[in-house]
Structure 1
Amino acid sequence: MKSKLKERLKLYFVMGSPNCVKDPLIVLHEAIVGGITAFQFREKGKGALTGQDAIYLGSELRKLCKAHDVLFIVNDDVELALKLKADGLHIGQEDDSLLNIRANMLDKIVGVSAHNVAEAEIAVRNGADYLGAGPMYTTLTKLDAREVQGPQMIREIRQNGIVIPIVGIGGITAETAEKVVESGADGVAVVSAISLAASPQKAAEEILQIVNNYHTK
């Protein structure tokens, strides 16, 4: 599962029901057809589902990902990740420590959000499989988002010898995706650029092509 992780993080779609204006299952299916390589179930924000409703939606999204060999990651919630038999978990700086999480998820992928070089170094030291670096640009998806760092932050992380996979996240669009991978990211993580697109499939295709074109230069 962890093999070729850089390849599997090229286009990382993050979404929950609050991020969609139509059925999340339809949005995810279209995004999968468009070529996303990983998906993070992030059920947060105004109107987010809880309890059994969240579990049901998560399980349906999980089935879609499994059927199409797309990585399925759960945001923050270890118990939910285990219940859904997710491929991994993504945690922020305010969540439980990576060392504690590893005790329950030894064979799973664990990604960590990093907002500067120091946080990235600690995450790597504690065994993170990949980093979510950001925010790259202004985002309205996460109301408590940190200060915008820009692609330069990824360049600084790479210059400090960190070689594990990195995805840039935060306000990334088709217009800015190349700048993010050019800075040293292996892929981009996007929310509304796909979830709110008139055609999630076309949006995913466009962003993936930009990432692939850069990596094959």
Structure 2
Amino acid sequence: MENLQYISQGKTPEAHLRNIMKVCEAGGKWVQLRLKNAKPKDQLKIAFLAKRICDRYGTRLIVNDNVMIAKKLDVDGVHLGLKDMCTKEAREFLGDKIIGGTANTLEDCLMHIKNGVDYIGLGPFRFTSTKKQLSPLLGAEGYQSIVKELRQQGHKTPVFAIGGIAEDDFAELSGTGVSGIAVSGILTGKDKEDIKNIISTYHTVFRTESV
């Protein structure tokens, strides 16, 4: 599993697709389609088009929240928030597809691990305007504490930092024990060369094997 995830962003569904295309063209290998306010019919259509783009570039595609779309379009998986379908139920419904779960605390992480998730999106690192009803901020110390406790308990589930991450944060986060990061704003709206450079910087700083 690639350890840098792009969470799609855009003012319109079409903007999401344009941003996904640029990330794929720049070498991004993992995209989460996150359409929060679109109608169900539009979500299915955009997910279908996003899958075509990602398939063209060999990029992994998961969808946010919607297990039905994940199943119907046979995308790679789904990411679920704490208020979405239980990750255990999603596993029963989607089988061996990738399932990620949002977490803010150690308890959240342990719940997801018990439910058999493939990765945990732990955050937020700092304030982000892309998410409403933001959970308490973790900062680098929060990640270090939670990941250390998980590893001491013998849990190996990959933990991804998420929430307001900037390029200047890569080095700090690489020392916390997280397996990778999920980003949105730092890639959205950039041109292909800028995106390519940010992706290259990430891999240089983290120097981690894909998880």
TM-score, normalised to structure 2, is: 0.88
How far is 1:74 from its partner? 0.8
Asked if 1:89 corresponds to 2:78, the answer is yes
Which residue identity does 2:193 align to in structure 1?
Answer: K
Give, in whole Å, the separation in 2 of the partners of 1:51 and 1:113: 22
> Are 1:24 and 2:16 an aligned pair?
yes
d(CA) in 2 for partners of 1:88 and 1:106? 10
Shift of 1:190: 1.0
Amino acid at match of 2:197: E
CA contact (8 A) 1:173 1:207 kept: no
What is aligned with 1:194?
A: 187
Whether the aligned pair in 2 keeps the contact of 1:187 and 1:211 (CA below 8 Å) is no
Alpha-carbon displacement from aligned partner over 1:155-187 (angstroms, at most 9, x marks no partner): 122211132212111001112122222211222
Match of 1:14 in 2: 7
Please state how far the C-alpha of 1:19 moved relative to its aligned partner.
7.1
* TM-score, normalised relative to structure 1: 0.86
Contact 1:174 1:206 in 2 (8 A): no
Of 130, 135, 138 in structure 2, the residue corresponding to residue 146 of structure 1 is: 135
Runs of 4+, deviation exceeding 6 Å: none
The CA RMSD measured in Å over matched residues stands at 1.9
Q: Whose relative contact order is higher, 1 or 2, with alpha carbons under 8 Å and at least 6 apart? A: 1
Gaps of 5+ in 1: none
Which residue of structure 2 aligns with residue 35 of structure 1? 27
Indicate the residue corresponding to 2:104 in structure 1: 115
Corresponding residue pairs, total: 204
Distance in 1 between residues matched to 2:146 and 2:78, nearest whole Å: 22
* Identity in percent: 24
Deviates further, 109-118 or 177-186: 177-186
Unaligned 5+ segments in structure 2 are none
SS in 1 for 2:125: coil
The amino acid of 2:121's aligned partner reads G
Q: Relative to structure 1, is the Cα distance of residues 134 and 19 closer, same or farther in structure 2, using a 3 angstrom cutoff?
A: farther
Deviation at 1:101, TM superposition (A): 1.2
Distance, in Å, in 2 between the alignment partners of 1:177 and 1:203 is: 16
Give the stretch that moved more between structures: 127-136 or 142-151. 142-151
Of stretches 28-37 and 136-145 in structure 1, the one that deviates more from structure 2 is 28-37
Partner secondary structure for residue 168 of structure 2? coil
Contact 1:178 1:210 in 2 (8 A): no
